[in-house]
Amino acid sequence: MEKTNVIAHFMGFPGKLKDKVMEIVKKTMKIGKDDPRKIWHAAKVGLALTLVSLFYYFRPLYDGFGQSAIWAVLTVVVVFEFTAGATLSKCLNRGFATLLAGALGIGAKYFADLFGKEGEPIVLGFLIFTLGAVGTFTRFFPHMKRKYDYGILIFVLTFSLVTVSGYRVDEILELAHQRLTTILVGAATCMIISLVVCPVWAGEDLHKLVCGNLDKLATFLEGFGSEYFSFSEIEESGKASKEDKGFLQAYKIVLNSKATEETLANFAWWEPGHGSFRLRHPWKQYLKIGVLARECACHLQALTSYFNSNPQAPTEFHKRIEEACTRMSMESSKALKQLASSIKTMTQPPSSAAETHLKNSKTAIDDFKAILATTKTPLLSNKLDLLEIFPAITVASILIDVINCVERISEAVEELSVKAHFKKVKNKESSPSPEKQPQQQLLHRGIVKPVVDDVEGGDDSVVIEICGGTVAAAVEVNSPGGTKGEAQKDRV
């Protein structure tokens, strides 16, 4: 019996192995599909390694560098990172640290020579201890850690290697020269391949991440606005909420994006100008927007617990606030979408675009408050059950917080657009009339220059440039027109 089990186990082994392999293949396919740049990155590292190993196989190169050519291989493996910024940061850190530490190390050797055969190890030991300890401690300074962590590591490493190696000083000079040259060759190979072959820009990733996050918040608010207060279509919404659960989860990614954003911003600092990003693009401003986006996501998390709390039989009060609350949610969503597309396309939209939506949402707040204020009239008070309207009031209150947050995001995006010199989109009127709207709702990729009907306003042209690839998406310009009209009617 037991024997059969063992045999069955061994017979089953190829099957299990096959399953395991299939699982790994599936995972690989998924990673490759989600971000094909990862496959490219792997191929780039392989290429860089193979190129550097040519130093050995082509005799002339080998004769020039000798055994120290392995440092080029070592450099490639250690230094090549996914994003161009990270690779540059490591290459430059490694290069300069090696140069500096090598020079210091040779100096230390000269200095220790003065103390004779007996004294030399003691002096060198003391120097290594001091530099090792001081260097390690320096890595705890937040500013140093952020930018020069790897450089300090290499500094301590090279200094120790140079002082420890038992060579005489003239041999050291030769060795240091060889080592530095090979490291430069390795680093240069990495930098060139990283910058030329399908470069992955940390800055672009940060840019996409931040506007993607704003989009996620907008999608949540849109979904929430159309679901929570829609008492009229309550049967359908029950269905829809199950299908659309995705938008309920997306904000969680926003909540957890802090570490990624900061890493990307650090690497982006090292990158040269590329695409529409200049050398000193205000990456820090993206972090500010990120902080506010996370704050907003916090409020959204509070909203989720109310998602299924709307009463089956809405009271008169619910019906009264429904319109205002839906408008609060929808208008803040539109404002966020507008802001996201403004970052995405790197254009300053007509000054009113996001602001109009924000104004509309504020009007909705005023309307809501007006409803609250009138609800104390004797007419309603008899029917008013505080316990029943309690969740709806809370939702409205959280929405007000969300709108405040969106307003601060809008200010931060405005600041970014100034600092990063976003292209200005001119238009004569601060808000377009509702009739013009159909021409101005553009759903295009690429550069769009709509011909406006009333030609006498030469300033009225709208220029939209959408970055290629995944950034491109539907862009709404001046869409608020219609909604704003409504909001103003309500106000009157």
Looking at residue 475, its amino acid is V
Nearer to a copy of itself, 99 or 153 (CB): 153
Nearer to a copy of itself, 51 or 448 (CB): 51
Please give the angle made by the CA atoms of 372, 377 and 383, to the nearest 5 degrees: 85
Judged by CB under 8 A, which stretch of 177-185, 328-336, 377-385, 476-484 contacts a copy of itself? Answer: 377-385
Neighbours of 291 (CB within 10 A): 14
Please give the angle made by the CA atoms of 189, 193 and 197, to the nearest 5 degrees: 165
Nearer to a copy of itself, 80 or 269 (CB): 80
272: contact with a copy of itself by CB under 8 A: no
In the range 111-140, which residues lie near a copy of itself by CB under 8 A?
121, 124-125, 128-134, 136-137, 140
Size of the site for a copy of itself (CB under 8 A): 81
Nearer to a copy of itself, 300 or 416 (CB): 300
Spell out the residues 6+ positions from residue 456 whose beta carbon is closer than 8 angstroms to its own: none
Q: Residue 263 and residue 258: Cα distance in Å, rounded?
A: 9
Nearer to a copy of itself, 402 or 452 (CB): 402
Interface residue with a copy of itself among 7, 22, 146, 165 (CB under 8 A) is: 165
Nearer to a copy of itself, 110 or 390 (CB): 390
Judged by CB under 8 A, which stretch of 152-160, 196-204, 351-359, 448-456 contacts a copy of itself? Answer: 152-160
Phi-psi region of 449 (alpha: psi -120 to 50; beta: other; left: phi over 0): beta
Nearer to a copy of itself, 180 or 393 (CB): 393
CA 119, distance to chain mean position in Å, is 55
The closest alpha carbon to 327, from 485, 488, 483, 489, belongs to 483
308: contact with a copy of itself by CB under 8 A: no
Q: How far is the CB of 314 from a copy of itself (least distance, A)?
A: 17
47: contact with a copy of itself by CB under 8 A: yes
Q: At what angle do helices 142-164 and 84-113 cross, to 10 degrees?
A: 40
Helix (H) or strand (E) holding 51: helix 37-57
Q: How far is the CB of 64 from a copy of itself (least distance, A)?
A: 13
Judged by CB under 8 A, which stretch of 232-240, 266-274, 275-283, 292-300 contacts a copy of itself? Answer: 292-300
13: contact with a copy of itself by CB under 8 A: no
Coil, strand or helix at 473: coil
Q: How far is the CB of 69 from a copy of itself (least distance, A)?
A: 8
| Contact present, 360 and 255 (Cβ < 8 Å) | no
Q: Residue 268 and residue 283: Cα distance in Å, rounded?
A: 7
In whole angstroms, how far apart are CA 20 and each of 12, 23, 24?
12, 5, 6
385: contact with a copy of itself by CB under 8 A: yes
231: contact with a copy of itself by CB under 8 A: no
Q: Residue 482 and residue 5: Cα distance in Å, rounded?
A: 74
Torsion of CA 192, 149, 285, 461, to 10 degrees: 0
Nearer to a copy of itself, 136 or 488 (CB): 136
Interface residue with a copy of itself among 391, 434, 450, 485 (CB under 8 A) is: 391
Interface residue with a copy of itself among 113, 244, 295, 476 (CB under 8 A) is: 295
Neighbours of 122 (CB within 10 A): 11
313: contact with a copy of itself by CB under 8 A: no
Q: How far is the CB of 95 from a copy of itself (least distance, A)?
A: 17
In the range 54-73, which residues lie near a copy of itself by CB under 8 A?
54, 56-57, 62, 67, 69-70, 73
Nearer to a copy of itself, 394 or 437 (CB): 394
Q: Residue 388 and residue 404: Cα distance in Å, rounded?
A: 26
Spell out the residues 6+ positions from residue 253 whose beta carbon is closer than 8 angstroms to its own: 213, 216
- Report CA torsion sign: 9, 10, 12, 13: positive
282: contact with a copy of itself by CB under 8 A: no
28: contact with a copy of itself by CB under 8 A: yes
253: contact with a copy of itself by CB under 8 A: no
Interface residue with a copy of itself among 308, 366, 390, 453 (CB under 8 A) is: 390
Coil, strand or helix at 269: coil
In the range 325-364, which residues lie near a copy of itself by CB under 8 A?
none
Q: Residue 156 and residue 463: Cα distance in Å, rounded?
A: 53
User: Which residue is listed with tokens 């070592």?
Assistant: 74
372: contact with a copy of itself by CB under 8 A: yes
Nearer to a copy of itself, 292 or 452 (CB): 292
Interface residue with a copy of itself among 107, 171, 275, 305 (CB under 8 A) is: 305
**Which stretches within 229-315 are classed as H helix?**
234-243, 245-255, 258-268, 283-304
Nearer to a copy of itself, 267 or 422 (CB): 267
For residue 244, what is the DSSP state? Answer: T
In whole angstroms, how far apart are CA 231 and each of 253, 318, 330, 405?
30, 9, 16, 27
Nearer to a copy of itself, 92 or 175 (CB): 175
288: contact with a copy of itself by CB under 8 A: no
185: contact with a copy of itself by CB under 8 A: no
| Contact present, 422 and 347 (Cβ < 8 Å) | yes
In the range 398-427, which residues lie near a copy of itself by CB under 8 A?
398, 401, 404
153: contact with a copy of itself by CB under 8 A: yes
